[in-house]
Amino acid sequence: MRTIWLALMPMLFSSCMHKKNFYYYAIDTHLTPKRVYSVNFSWPDFESNFQVRTDRSCVYHVFDFNISPDGLPFNISPVAWSSDTLQTQSQAALKKWQFPQSDMPIRQARAGFIYNHHNQVTAFMFNRQSPIYHGSASPTAPLESIRPLNWQTNFHDGEVQDQLSGFVDVSFTINNDGRVDQPKIINAFPPGLYDEAGLATVSHWTFPALQKQQSGIVRISYLIDGPNSCTY
């Protein structure tokens, strides 16, 4: 897993967007845009006009799209979102992005936006193969009646601990002896960022012995202090 911080990459911002309020990340992808547009917004208006849940400090949208040989996005399709607020504006901004030209007829890509209560926007390029739940709701169904004996979440990937908050939803099976089997990432945001850390965490859990196998899904959140800290 590779994370690249591209603070010095030349970008073109929307007319009202200040550089200090805009961030860009590339996560495990070789595709790098030449020009990145974003959306100007005000979080107080965001909450009052669009009735964003007050217990959520960030909103995100993720899109799959193709890139033409001349570097222009097309066939943009939303694949995951925490709220449909500003989704149309995000899609319109992404349509203006520009990529290097290529001899390839079509390049597949995935990108997204995060809006937070500091009036900051973070744009991403993702690995399109990273697991992500398609839709507006997470399939999370935490185990209600059983908890691991060693509830640890300290198996971090050192590359990203101080850069960005995120979460992973991990499905797994508990064997009769309490060991975890077949952990699998079924949803994550940002896609690919904490997959390895989440799988390592769940793989190290042990549960009380069971009379029969039990399956479950758990969400592990990684909350980072700083301007990009989010609760989804």
Q: Which domains does the chain have, with CATH numbers?
A: 3-126 (no CATH), 131-232 (3.30.2420.10)
Calpha distance 58→223 (Å, rounded): 12
pTM of the predicted structure, to 2 decimals: 0.74
Yes or no: say if 112 and 65 are a contact pair by the CB < 8 Å rule. no
Calpha distance 115→81 (Å, rounded): 12
Q: Which pLDDT score, from 0 to 100, does residue 72 have? A: 95
pLDDT tens-digit map of 30-75: 788 888 888 777 766 666 555 555 445 688 899 999 999 999 999 9
Residues found in the chain = 232
Mean pLDDT score across all residues of the chain = 75
Q: What residues of the chain score a pLDDT lower than 50?
A: 1-18, 54-55, 155-162
Q: Which pLDDT score, from 0 to 100, does residue 161 have? A: 46
